[in-house]
Amino acid sequence: MAKRPPTFRMRRLGAQLRKLREEHGLGLDEAADLLLMSKSALHRIENAQVTIRPREVNYILMTYGDVEADLQESLLGLAAAGRSKDWVKRYGDLAQAPVVGDYVRLEQDASALLAYQPNVIHGLFQTPDYARAIMSSLKRLYPDRDVDRSVAFRMARREVLEGANPARMEAVIGESAIRHQIGGPAVMHEQLHHLLDVSRRGNIVLRILPFEIANHPGADGAFSLLEVEAGSFTVCAVHSLTQVVFVDDESEVASYSVAFEELREASLSVEETRERIAQVLHELGTW
């Protein structure tokens, strides 16, 4: 079992294995004896200090016994890492960090995404020039970032919505995102036309939350709900300027699901959304 920085998947898998052991009434010493491994080795697995492979997870589950089929499938999926593993092999060199971040890995593993973004166009819908303008505006915060590589990395992320088996995505975007002229009129002209094209794809639903909605549950900022296929779980990612905070407690995820439903209901219809984008293009004088 090779060491690597703990990912969200590893932490979730370790926590689930610890919970399963405790539900079977096994202490750490007793479980380690049963599994024919050292107590320290089992401790490292449960605390995400080592990578554990599907066959090793299967051995633990078989040894504990009496594990429901759905849970077994979920735990094996967590260990398998999903399609992000191949994606990272292709595009990981573009990342501006030693390892590709948890959010991007989970995003690539998702079968469905629900996203709320109040102030900018969602990253998966951005054009290269719009993404470059966003990243250039953060140059003082990230002076060492290679903007060209970062733009290429963001464009590669769009692969999750493309191909033979694309993820489904539903997004609610604040009206300010389509009106704020990030990068200037020419950049926004291209971006808004691209947004119209995106909105017509069969696997994507796009809605605008209009200015006239006075009260809504999105005032605290952007978040995403990712339905991760390999591992069979939903996680909420709360976005801020410098980090992404993951919420996987079922009751808290349910609260964000309700919030998204309310944002959906408050938003323009799909057709009204296209009309609003077209209206902004006319106002820009670039239609």
Helix (H) or strand (E) holding 51: none
The tokens describing 214, both together, are 């006075």
Q: What pairs with residue 116 in β-bridges?
A: 172, 223
How big is the chain by its Cα radius of gyration, in Å? 21
Q: How far is the CA of 113 from the CAs of 49, 74, 103, 171, in angstroms? A: 29, 19, 12, 8
The answer to whether 5 and 99 have CB atoms below 8 angstroms apart is yes
CA–chain centroid gap for 102, Å, is 8
Which strands make up the sheet holding 244-247, listed edge to edge?
Answer: 204-209, 168-174, 110-117, 223-228, 233-239, 244-247
CATH code: domain 85-284 is 3.30.870
CA pair distance 45, 21, nearest whole angstrom: 12
* CATH class of domain segment(s) 8-80: mainly alpha
CA nearest neighbour of 283 among 192, 199, 195, 198: 192
One fold for 8-80 and 85-284 = no
Residue-level pLDDT at 99: 52
Residue-level pLDDT at 30: 94
Instruction: Break the chain into its structural domains and give their ranges.
Output: 8-80, 85-284
Residue-level pLDDT at 1: 47
CA pair distance 147, 139, nearest whole angstrom: 9
CA pair distance 270, 199, nearest whole angstrom: 8
Residue 160: what are its φ and ψ, rounded to 5°?
-65, -25
Tens digit of pLDDT per residue, the chain (287 long)? 445 567 888 888 999 999 999 999 999 999 999 999 999 999 999 998 888 999 999 999 999 998 898 889 889 988 887 788 888 888 888 876 655 688 998 999 999 999 999 999 999 999 999 999 999 988 888 888 889 999 999 999 999 999 889 999 999 999 999 999 999 999 999 999 999 999 999 999 999 999 999 889 988 899 999 999 777 899 999 998 888 899 999 999 999 999 999 999 999 999 999 999 999 999 998 66
The tokens describing 26, both together, are 């096994």
Running DSSP on this structure, what letter comes out for residue 160?
A: G
